[in-house]
Amino acid sequence: MTENTDQNTLRETAMDEIRSLRGRIDGLNKDQLDLILTGARSHYAWTDKPVSDALLHEIFDITKMGPTSMNCGPARFTFVRSAEGKERLAKSLKPANVPKVMNAPITAIIAYDVDFWRELLLLFPHDDRRGHFRDKAAHAQDTAYRNSTLQGAYFMIAARALGLDVGAISGFSNAVVDEEFFAGTTVKSNFLCNIGYADETALFQRLPRFDFDDVCNVI
C-alpha cells in the first residue's frame, strides 16, 4: 500500500512538473533555434579560449536528461584536453582530421558501455529489465550504440545551447581509440566531437539540405 502510494505521489509530481514547464514556455524562439540547430554550423578551427571543467559538467547535466530506451543512458564521455591525450587520440585519426583535433580545446570521445544494462536497477528502478540484455550481446550492443548516438546528439545541442561550438568527427579508427582509451573495459567508442569557441574564418558556405518532400512521407 505504501509503495503504491509513493509511486502515485511521484507520478503526480511528475505531471505537475511538466504542466508547470508547459505553462512557462511553449517553444523556443527563432534565435534560440538558430543557436542550437538552424543557424549553427559545424566547426573545425578554434580560438584558444579555454573550456572549463565547470562547463563540461554543465553540458553533461543537460545531456543526461535526454531520453534513452528504458532510461539506460549507455553513453560514456572522455574529454581529451591534454597534449598527451591528444597525441594518443591522433594515432586513430585520418590525416586531414589531425589538426582539427590537435587545435581544439577539448575533444570528446562519445562512447558507450555494452554492459550498461547492469545499472538498470538504478536507472529503471520500478521494474528489473536486466534480463532483456543478460546473455544477449547483440541486443545489448545495438541498444548501447543506438542510444549513445542519441546522447551524442544531445551533447552537441547542449554545448551549443551554452554558447560553445562543436565539430563532430567520424574519420578515425574506432579500434585504435578503443585500444588507447578503453582497453580491458566494456566501453567502446562511437564518434568524436571537438568543442570550444570556433574561429569562424575557417568556415565555407553551408552545404545543401533536402526539402521535406524529398525525404519525408506522411501516411
Give pLDDT tens digits along the chain (219 positions). 466 778 888 889 999 999 999 999 999 999 999 999 999 999 999 999 999 999 999 999 999 999 999 999 999 999 999 999 999 999 999 999 999 999 999 999 999 999 999 999 999 998 999 999 999 999 999 999 999 999 999 999 999 999 999 999 999 999 999 999 999 999 999 999 999 999 999 999 999 999 999 999 999
Find out whether 140 and 98 touch, Cβ atoms under 8 Å. no
The reported pTM is 0.94
Per-domain boundaries in the chain:
1-39, 41-200
Cell of 216: 519525408
Residue 42, SS3? Answer: strand
Residue 124, SS3? Answer: coil
CATH superfamily of 41-200: NADH Oxidase (3.40.109.10)
Distance CA 7, CA 139 (A): 30
Alpha-carbon distances, residue 121 vs 61, 106, 116, 154 (angstroms): 21, 33, 11, 24
